[in-house]
Structure 1
Amino acid sequence: MENIAWRKAETDMELKKAEERAEGRKKSVDLIIPVYRPGKSFKELLKRIREQDYPIRRIIIMNTEEQFWKPEYEEIFEKKGTQETEMEVHHLSREEFDHGGTRDRGIRLSDADVCILMTHDAVPADRKLVGNLIKALESGPDIAAAYARQLPFEDCSLMEKYTRAFNYPAESRIKSAADLKELGIKTFFCSNVCAAYDTAIYRSLGGFIKKTIFNEDMIYAAKAVENGYRIAYAADARVFHSHNYTAVEQFHRNFDLAVSQADHPEVFFRDPVRGRGNPAGQAHRGLSRQTGKVDVPTEAGCSQRLQVCRIPAWETV
C-alpha cells in the first residue's frame, strides 16, 4: 500500500509541477532539518531562514530526543506580514534516527516541488541562499540536486579552513557521468549540510538509502548520475559551517566515513575509466558489521562546541 501511495504522490507532484510551469509560478520549497541538542547556531539558522528573499513554505524538523527541544524555536515563525512559514516538529528516539532513513522520512512528509535539507549547525550567509539553490536546480531539467558552498566560521582551525576551501571552491559546477574520468568519486560529491532536491526526481529514484551510518547524500548523488541526471554545485548559495574537532573526534568521524564507503563499494571503489564499482571493495565490508549499530547523529557531537563559535553577521551581497 505504501508503494501505491508513493506512486500516486509522484504522479500528483508531476501534474502540479506542470501546472505551475504553465502559470509561471514559483516552485514551492520545504526545508527539512534533522536536529539533536541544538545550540545557538540553530536559532540563528531559523532567524536567517525567516529572512530569505525566496520564501520557505514549511519547515519540517526531525528532532532526536524530545527532551532537548525548546518551544521557543517555533515562536520564531509566527505570522510575519503576508508571508507565513509553518513549522512542524516530529520527535524520534536515538534508536529511530538514521542519516538516510530520517531524512527520507522528512521528505516523504513534504509535497513541495523542492526539498532543501540542512543540518542544525549550518547558518545561511545571506538572504539569497534559498533563491540561489533554486536557481541552480532550475538550470537544467536533469538537475537532481544542488548543494551549497560551505564557509568556515571565524574561529575554526586552519585545517578546517583548508578543507572548506578545497571541497567548496568559489566557482560553481554541474557534474555528470561525463566527469567520472576527471573527478572520480568527486563526481558524486554532495552535502546535506545544505542541499536542494528536485522532489519528483527524488521520488522516482527511490530517495535516500534507508539505513546508513554516513554519506546518504553521495550515495543518492551516485544513483542520480548513473540514471542520467546531474548534480549542481552552487557556489553563490553559501552557508557557514565548520567544526573544531579534537583528534579523537576526527578519528571517529573518519572511521564512520570509511564504514559507509566500505558498505557501498559500487560508489566509492569505482573504476574511473569504466565508471563501475570495484569488487575489491567488498573485502572491506566486514568493517561495518563490527560496529553492530548506527551511530547517533554526527551533528550531536558538535552542538556544544558551536555554541561558542563566532557567527558572522549578514552579508549584503
Structure 2
Amino acid sequence: MPTVSVIIPTYCASRYLEPLIHALRTQTCPPDEIIIIDSSSSDGTAEQARALGCQVMIIPKHEFNHGGTRNRAAKAAKGDILVFMTQDALPTDEHFISRLIQPIVEGVASAAYARQTTPEDANPLEAFARQFNYPLQSHTKSRADIRRLGVKAYFFSDAASAIRRDIFWAVGGFADWVVVNEDMILCARLLQADHVIAYVAEAAVFHAHNYTLAQTFRRYFDIGVFMHQSREILIGAKSGGEGMRFARQQFQHLWQQRKYGAATRSILESGLKWVAFQIGKRSEYLPRRLNRYLSAQKAYWNAQSQR
C-alpha cells in the first residue's frame, strides 16, 4: 500500500483543527503523516497542531501564496501520494482517504478530487452550488475531454484532492504566480501531459462558504484576475456559457423549492459575480492599490507591489 501525506495550509484554524485531525486519524486508511503549514496564526493553531501530533511548518503571514505555500509543504512530504485539504473541509466518514486514493492506487488515474457537500447550516445558494459542481456520479477526464467539457475540464479542487507525489513534481506542482485557482492550473498541466483525473463522488467532505455579498464580489474579482492570467494555459476554457447555465439552474431550483427569498438573492448574486469577474479580467488596467482593495487575496497584491 502506498504511503500517504496529508497537507493542510492553515490560518487561525483552531476551531476546525481538532475535529479534522480526529477524522483523519480514524480513517480506515489513516495518513502516514499530516503536515500543517501555518501562516503565523494568532489563535494557537500551530501549537494545537503539534499537540495533535502533526508536523508543523510556520511561515510569515505575508508570504502566503495559494500555490507556493502548498508546494513548500509538499517538499517536506514523504508520502507516495499527497492529499491536499483545506482547514474547513471535514471528511464525512472514515472511508474518505481510501476511496479518494483508490483510482490512483489502481492505476486508473494520476490524481483525484472528492465530492463536496454542505453541512446542515449552509445557505440554500451554497447548497445548490455544491450539488451543481459535485454530482453523485463519479467520472474520469482526460485531454480528449477538453473540447467537450470546456472550462469544466479544468475543474479540480485542492480542498480535498490527491495526487501521486512523483507526478505532482513532474508537472511542476502548483503554480505560484496566480492569485487563486492554483488547482485548476495543476489540472491543466496534468491533462496536457496526458494524465487522467478522477472525480470520486464516494469520497466526500463537508465544505461550504456562506459568503456575504462583499465576499462574493472579492472572490469573483479574483477569479476574473485568474482567468486573464491563465488564458494561454486553460485552452478552450470559455466560462461564460457555464456561468449562465449555473445561474439559470440555481434560480429555477430555488424557485421550485419555494425559497423565493433565496431565488431573488441568486439573481443579485449572479449579477454581482458577473460584474466582479469582468472587472477582474481587466485588472491590469487598474491601479495596484485598487486591485488590492477589490481582492480577497491581500498578500498576493502586497507581494506584487514588492516586485
Give the TM-score normalised by the residue count of structure 2: 0.77
Aligned partners of 2:181 and 2:287: how far apart in 1? 17
2:284 to 283, 286, 291: 286
Does 2:26 match 1:54? no
What pairs with 1:161-176 in structure 2 (closer than 5 Å)?
A: 161-176=127-142
User: Which residue is equivalent to 1:12?
Assistant: none
User: Which residue is equivalent to 1:42?
Assistant: 17
1:261 to 227, 248, 257: 227
Partner amino acid, structure 2, of 1:244 = N
- Shift of the 269–205 alpha-carbon distance from structure 1 to 2, 3 Å rule, reads closer
Q: Which is worse superposed, 39-48 or 262-271? A: 262-271
Aligned partners of 1:288 and 1:225: how far apart in 2? 33
Partner amino acid, structure 2, of 1:88 = Q
What pairs with 1:134-145 in structure 2 (closer than 5 Å)?
A: 134-140=101-107, 143-145=109-111
User: Which residue is equivalent to 1:312?
Assistant: none
Aligned partners of 1:45 and 1:297: how far apart in 2? 26
Instruction: Please list the CA deviations of residues 248-290 of structure 1 after superposition, one character each: whole Å capped at 9, or x if unmatched.
Output: 1111111111111111102446278xxxxxxxxxx84626873
Aligned partners of 2:38 and 2:160: how far apart in 1? 17
Give the TM-score normalised by the residue count of structure 1: 0.75
Partner amino acid, structure 1, of 2:297 = D
2:62 to 79, 88, 95: 95
Residue 118 of structure 2 contacts residue 130 of structure 2 at CA under 8 Å; is this kept in 1?
Answer: yes
1:73 to 13, 38, 49: 49
What pairs with 1:105-254 in structure 2 (closer than 5 Å)?
A: 105-140=72-107, 143-254=109-220
Instruction: Please list the CA deviations of residues 141-186 of structure 1 after superposition, one character each: whole Å capped at 9, or x if unmatched.
Output: 6x23100100101111110010000000001010011111221121
- Shift of the 297–63 alpha-carbon distance from structure 1 to 2, 3 Å rule, reads farther
Aligned partners of 2:91 and 2:298: how far apart in 1? 25
Structure 1 vs Structure 2: percent identity of aligned residues? 33
Three-state SS of the structure 1 residue aligned to 2:131 is helix
Aligned partners of 1:155 and 1:48: how far apart in 2? 20
Structure 2: unaligned runs, 5 residues or longer: 239-280, 301-307
- Shift of the 118–296 alpha-carbon distance from structure 1 to 2, 3 Å rule, reads farther
Aligned partners of 2:111 and 2:15: how far apart in 1? 28
User: How far off its partner does 1:297 sit?
Assistant: 8.0
Three-state SS of the structure 1 residue aligned to 2:114 is strand
Residue 213 of structure 1 contacts residue 294 of structure 1 at CA under 8 Å; is this kept in 2?
Answer: no
Structure 1: unaligned runs, 5 residues or longer: 1-25, 78-86, 273-282, 299-317
User: Which residue is equivalent to 2:248?
Assistant: none
Aligned partners of 2:89 and 2:237: how far apart in 1? 34
Q: How many residues align?
A: 253
Question: Structure with the greater relative contact order (CA < 8 A, sep ≥ 6): 1 or 2?
Answer: 1
> Displaced runs of 4+ in structure 1, greater than 3 A?
287-290
Please tell me the root mean square deviation across aligned C-alpha atoms, in Å.
Answer: 2.2
Residue 82 of structure 2 contacts residue 163 of structure 2 at CA under 8 Å; is this kept in 1?
Answer: yes
- Shift of the 255–269 alpha-carbon distance from structure 1 to 2, 3 Å rule, reads farther
User: Which residue is equivalent to 2:259?
Assistant: none
Partner amino acid, structure 2, of 1:177 = R
- Shift of the 289–91 alpha-carbon distance from structure 1 to 2, 3 Å rule, reads farther
- Shift of the 234–123 alpha-carbon distance from structure 1 to 2, 3 Å rule, reads same
Residue 151 of structure 2 contacts residue 237 of structure 2 at CA under 8 Å; is this kept in 1?
Answer: no
Instruction: Please list the CA deviations of residues 107-133 of structure 1 after superposition, one character each: whole Å capped at 9, or x if unmatched.
Output: 111121001000000111000011011
User: Which residue is equivalent to 1:278?
Assistant: none
User: Which residue is equivalent to 1:5?
Assistant: none
Residue 60 of structure 1 contacts residue 89 of structure 1 at CA under 8 Å; is this kept in 2?
Answer: yes
Residue 36 of structure 2 contacts residue 49 of structure 2 at CA under 8 Å; is this kept in 1?
Answer: no
User: Which residue is equivalent to 1:295?
Assistant: 297
Residue 175 of structure 1 contacts residue 230 of structure 1 at CA under 8 Å; is this kept in 2?
Answer: yes
